Amino acid sequence: MISIDWELLHQEAKTIMARSYSPYSKFPVGVAALVTDGRIVTGTNVENASYGLGLCAECGLVSNLIASGGGRLVAAVCVDSNGAFLSPCGRCRQLLFEHGGNDLLFMTPDGPLPMSNLLPWAFGPEDLGITP
């Protein structure tokens, strides 16, 4: 069982949050996640003048996960500009579920919670007969 350094994940999420491109919402977000092989992948939100095209921090994280070799997500921390734990939006829960499944742990103000709590009875690859 891989050990989770929550403090390090929190720090990495804050570091990437500071690189956010969010001139429209002025709501920087950072997310960091531990991968099964021990890597840490991160992402930050990237907005656009065409507002609806903005990318959530979790989109960047998933992109970085795949681009850096893939693997399964084990634990994640998402933060706002104060470094406070942020709840991922619904779309991002689905994005993360694809790469971490029900057991992916998410840090909340009440401690870590599994994805199965954040996105109960999720639709996923297995519903399409695919084992990720």
Q: Which residues are catalytic?
A: 58
Residues 88-107 that bind ligand THU (CB under 6 A): 88-89, 92
Q: Which of 5, 25, 103, 125 binds ligand THU (CB under 6 A)?
A: 25
Rounded to whole angstroms, the Cα distance separating 43 from 124 reads 22
Residues 103-132 that bind ligand THU (CB under 6 A): none
Contact 54, 44 (CB under 8 A): no
Q: Which one, 40 or 89, has the nearer CB to ligand THU?
A: 89
Rounded to whole angstroms, the Cα distance separating 3 from 75 reads 10
Shortest separation between residue 21's beta carbon and ligand THU, angstroms:
9
Q: Which of 15, 54, 81, 116 binds ligand THU (CB under 6 A)?
A: 54
DSSP category for residue 101:
G
Contact 97, 115 (CB under 8 A): yes
DSSP category for residue 57:
H
Contact 45, 21 (CB under 8 A): yes
Sole window of 23-31, 33-41, 66-74, 123-131 interacting with ligand THU (rule: CB under 6 A): 23-31
Residues that bind ligand THU (CB under 6 A): 22, 25, 27, 29, 45, 47, 54, 56-58, 88-89, 92
